Structure 1
């Protein structure tokens, strides 16, 4: 299981972004969530996600605004899950707490805690966030159009520029690099989740054994 804990940065001097954050998470991940996102304390949100790609989508969305410190915890959770994420417990929640505290101290504002495999995923995720942090408004404009399902030709027509200009903008924005990195990051997160589950099974077997 993956748990995302995100804390709004500089919340005392800014408007409360939690309602918008909760709505965005619900829209992005929807049925892929294990539990609905909720405000946990102050300007903090938390959500439990069983799907690796969904947790990437949520984390990258929150990081894009530079308004959130995002911690991702990998590990088991106590079953059965309660109805409210605020009542849930388990290693993934503890790791997410550690992750958000680490994220507050990093330039990329994001961290993953979950064993050696989690550290590998974190390294790739931070590189991806650094790439996205350098993206211009024009790059994001094209990125959003392509995410809607438009082709580069359609995007060129919408933007009123040539297809060559669209291709150049895509290169400058690192869109193909991101596209290639996402499946690799998803695989790393799945391995981290599998490793955490195996560790938990081994620990339970050891306690039950002679």
Structure 2
């Protein structure tokens, strides 16, 4: 049985994820990285990351109707050691719930509730199975991130698909042109903090406008909908 972190009162706190996204051309990646190093510290300030993310959906499909809206997708995020990705002993497992984003809010960033529960021991995939969830899809994200003003996480990464389920050694880039995905993410601890965080993100994007256009993603693309066939 997996063991997850326990919280006072038995409930896991909900944060509100505020974010901006953009697509960075391969030719501009080195320039952006230099800019980030200057803003956030020297080259040692970059944190390399390798994530294997698995989406899971309920094993039993809720019949069509109002209750179906209560079905949610969960994500198992496996943080691997970039230097030794096959060392499962050092992998960090986190179960993620990303709520429905605010629709057409007019804010300067995408906003959605987010809950993270780290699994400290046991088999995280088996734990999700016991919760009534099954495998749906997976991808690998590889890149690096910087922390700006101890608040804003700036992630620069490439997305890979797997040609063999569960085998990260079969990862192939989704975009053969070598483009990068840029995300600026900040958490608001409660709804009252959301407006100010969004304003700060809207101001922050101008620092990178020479390299990448950071935008508010249409809420339809961030919906936590179950892809029932």
Q: Work out whether the TM-score is over 0.5.
A: no
Structure ranking higher in strand proportion: 2
Q: TM-score, normalised on structure 2?
A: 0.29
Q: TM-score, normalised on structure 1?
A: 0.31
Structure ranking higher in helix proportion: 1
